[in-house]
Amino acid sequence: MGLKDKLTQLRDEGMAEIRNSKDLQKINEVRVKMLGKKGPITSVLRGMKELSAEERPVVGKFANKVRDELTTAIEDRRAELEQAELDAQLAEEKLDVTLPGTPVAQGQSHVIQQIIDQVVDLFVSMGYEVAVGDEVEQEVYNFEKLNLPKDHPARDMQDTFYVTPTVLMRTQTSPMQARMLEKHDFSQGPLKMISPGKVYRRDTDDATHSHQFNQIEGMVVGKHITMADLKGTLEVVAQSLFGDKLQVRLRPSYFPFTEPSVEADITCFNCMGKGCAICKHTGWIEVLGAGMVHPNVLKMSGVDPEEYGGFAFGLGPDRFAMLKYGVDDIRNFYQNDVRFLNQFDEKG
């Protein structure tokens, strides 16, 4: 048999093997067997040196043609098999969308945040703007501009974390009063603001004290604002948080940044004023501090106390939450035990 016939036979055998290859592994084996260095075509080409000078280019050209045909056939078959394999894989991985999914545990707002949101929403609905300040504050805004000069004894009421001699962790949200008074354009109407946020005191943590807690500060400054406006506002807050039959009582108190200053009590929501353990049998519960903004505070922020005046109040959402839910240890709110926190499901 001549080399050309041998090549034709090899080609026909190869083509049959390629057609019969059922998977990628098999087609790969065929490729190595037919076209590899030890394959029959290579050995035919080696035998070409025995041929005459006239025959050699003819057989060489034919050998190249056979190799090209086989290579193309192998590649086509391989592409076919790859596609078939992919189709099979896709069919197998088909999603059953009717299967139930893995349940995802849904989080919720922290109980203190729920109270803050409730109070803030209430004030926003009454046209107050929300002013969130920085927890790191300049001493001058935390104290001086709130009528607490350097050696004022009331500074001792608030043990302070200092960052530098003039920068501190704010001990109250009141610095936002001074900052907003400085910024506000009173020709556009009164300033009505609410400022929720975290504050810090150098306190030893116990059942009723925490070195970090929350405050919500509110202030209204404008023309003709009176103590009656303050009382009415506090009634709205108390009733929206604790129930609409509650009354508010104001008692004289002292804060450096208000004059006069008051403590606000609400009717005990537990006994409705009859007297119980929660209200220590007085029928009243102290919920916040308030007063008419001190003329010095207005003056120091460039507001004329002869022309403008108003009220301010500060309440503690932590204390509100303790009262509302009967929690007797403030530390529970900050230890982040989800078994405790999950009890206050806002949806439930």
Give 180 or 323: the residue with its C-beta nearer to Zn ion.
323
The verdict on 270 binding Zn ion (CB under 5 A) reads yes
Six-digit token pair at 202?
A: 């150098």
Residue 149 beta carbon to Zn ion: minimum distance, rounded to whole angstroms? 40
Q: Which stretch binds Zn ion (CB under 5 A): 54-62, 100-108, 158-166, 276-284?
A: 276-284
Residue 143 beta carbon to Zn ion: minimum distance, rounded to whole angstroms? 36
Give 167 or 278: the residue with its C-beta nearer to Zn ion.
278
Residue 208 beta carbon to Zn ion: minimum distance, rounded to whole angstroms? 18
Give 261 or 267: the residue with its C-beta nearer to Zn ion.
267
Task: Give the span between the Cα atoms of 254 and 240, in whole angstroms.
Answer: 26
- C-alpha distances out from residue 92 to 22, 66, 96, Å: 19, 39, 11
- Helix (H) or strand (E) holding 285, with range, is strand 284-293
Task: Give the span between the Cα atoms of 246 and 314, in whole angstroms.
Answer: 19
Segment 249 to 268, residues that bind Zn ion, using CB under 5 A: 268
Segment 277 to 316, residues that bind Zn ion, using CB under 5 A: 278-279
Task: Give the span between the Cα atoms of 70 and 78, in whole angstroms.
Answer: 12
Whether 215 contacts 116, CB under 8 Å = no
Radius of gyration in angstroms for the set of CA atoms belonging to the chain, rounded to a whole number: 42
Residue 348 beta carbon to Zn ion: minimum distance, rounded to whole angstroms? 25
Give 214 or 267: the residue with its C-beta nearer to Zn ion.
267
Residue 266 beta carbon to Zn ion: minimum distance, rounded to whole angstroms? 11
Do β-strands 284-293 and 167-169 pair in parallel, antiparallel, or remain unpaired?
unpaired
Give how many residues touch Zn ion by CB under 5 A: 6
The verdict on 271 binding Zn ion (CB under 5 A) reads yes
The verdict on 28 binding Zn ion (CB under 5 A) reads no
Residue 325 beta carbon to Zn ion: minimum distance, rounded to whole angstroms? 15
Q: By Cβ distance, which residue is nearest to Zn ion?
A: 268
Task: Give the span between the Cα atoms of 217 and 288, in whole angstroms.
Answer: 10
Can you tell me whether residue 220 is helix, strand or coil? strand
Task: Give the span between the Cα atoms of 291 and 217, in whole angstroms.
Answer: 12
Q: Can you give the binding site for Zn ion, defined by CB under 5 A?
A: 268, 270-271, 276, 278-279
